[in-house]
């Protein structure tokens, strides 16, 4: 039986190449991996809302499922907003009801946002941006004031990884989510215990709120900060393979 296609969605500021070490662990086990290149990072000064990012996710997923592939989406951090907004009609259950093959079978979240419909990232923070946001008003972008400390302090070569981050469109922080795919598609959530950007208690609160809406979310903890696959790519790859149905 063919293995599911993996679509990996990076968090705010992260280039899609951040997933290269994880893909290097997954590809030898027969997984086709694709990464989302978000317009709000690639063309940060031009993006006005979440719609371009939502469309970027949907385009990759539609191409895969229309080729009758089963898909698992791995969503990191901020990308939970566009990912959960992009999947209407694309789950395997929905497509089976229409007599169509393929579809999204599972969502895997890594310290990712699980928004309500109509909720933005800033809204999830109570309407106040995190104090470590650094605004560029002229370009309408935002960066993190100390990305190494926030995202990579436990990562080998973490300071080099911090240099790969790019400004992110400020509009995407205030643009509301339009979907809650996690309610309708089985999900797994990797809780990052030492995360300084999205603390563990915030991750757990989002999972609990999702479950109260009827979501099926399995959880597991990992003793890393915000970017666990750069600390222990084999462990994270094994976690993904397990949720893809392998006996590992």
- Domain of 95: which CATH number? 3.40.50.1820
Whether the pLDDT of residue 227 is over 90: the answer is yes
pLDDT digits (tens, 9 = 90+) for 157-185: 999 999 999 999 999 999 999 999 999 99
Mean pLDDT of 176-196: 97
Q: What total of structural domains would you count in the chain?
A: 1
How much is the average pLDDT of 189-196? 98
pLDDT on residue 84? 98
For residue 41, what are its two tokens?
């990072």
Mean confidence (pLDDT) of the chain: 96
CA distance 218 to 65: 24
Nearest CA to 79 out of 127, 145, 132, 35 is that of 35
Which residues in 64-140 belong to E strands, given as ranges? 70-76, 103-110, 133-136
Domain that holds residue 46: 5-244
Share of the chain above pLDDT 90, in %: 94
Q: How confident is the model at residue 128 (pLDDT cuts 50, 70, 90)?
A: confident
| For range 43-47, the mean pLDDT | 93
Q: Are strands 141-144 and 133-136 parallel, antiparallel or unpaired?
A: antiparallel
């Amino acid at each position: 039986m063919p293995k599911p296609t993996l679509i990996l969605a990076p968090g705010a500021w992260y280039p899609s190449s951040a997933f290269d070490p994880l893909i290097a662990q997954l590809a030898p086990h027969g997984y086709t991996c694709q990464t989302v290149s978000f317009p709000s990072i690639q063309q940060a000064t031009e993006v006005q809302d979440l719609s371009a990012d939502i469309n970027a996710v949907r385009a990759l997923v539609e191409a895969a499922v229309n080729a009758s592939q089963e898909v698992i989406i791995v969503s990191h951090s901020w990308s939970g907003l566009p990912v959960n907004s992009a999947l209407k009609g694309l789950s395997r259950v929905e497509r089976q009801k229409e007599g169509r093959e393929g579809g999204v079978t599972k969502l895997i979240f890594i310290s990712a946002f699980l928004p309500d419909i109509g909720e933005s990232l800033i809204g999830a923070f109570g309407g106040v941006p995190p104090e470590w946001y650094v605004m560029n008003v002229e370009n309408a972008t935002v960066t993190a004031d100390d990305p190494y400390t926030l995202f990579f302090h436990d990562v080998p070569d973490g300071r080099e990884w911090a240099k790969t981050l790019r400004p992110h469109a400020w509009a995407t922080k205030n643009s509301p989510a339009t979907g809650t795919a996690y309610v309708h598609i089985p999900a797994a959530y990797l809780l990052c215990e030492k995360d300084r950007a999205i603390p563990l208690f915030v991750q757990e609160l989002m999972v609990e709120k999702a479950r109260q809406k009827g979501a099926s979310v399995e959880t597991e903890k990992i003793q890393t900060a915000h970017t666990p696959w750069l600390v222990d790519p084999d462990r994270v790859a094994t976690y993904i393979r397990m949720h893809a149905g392998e006996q590992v």
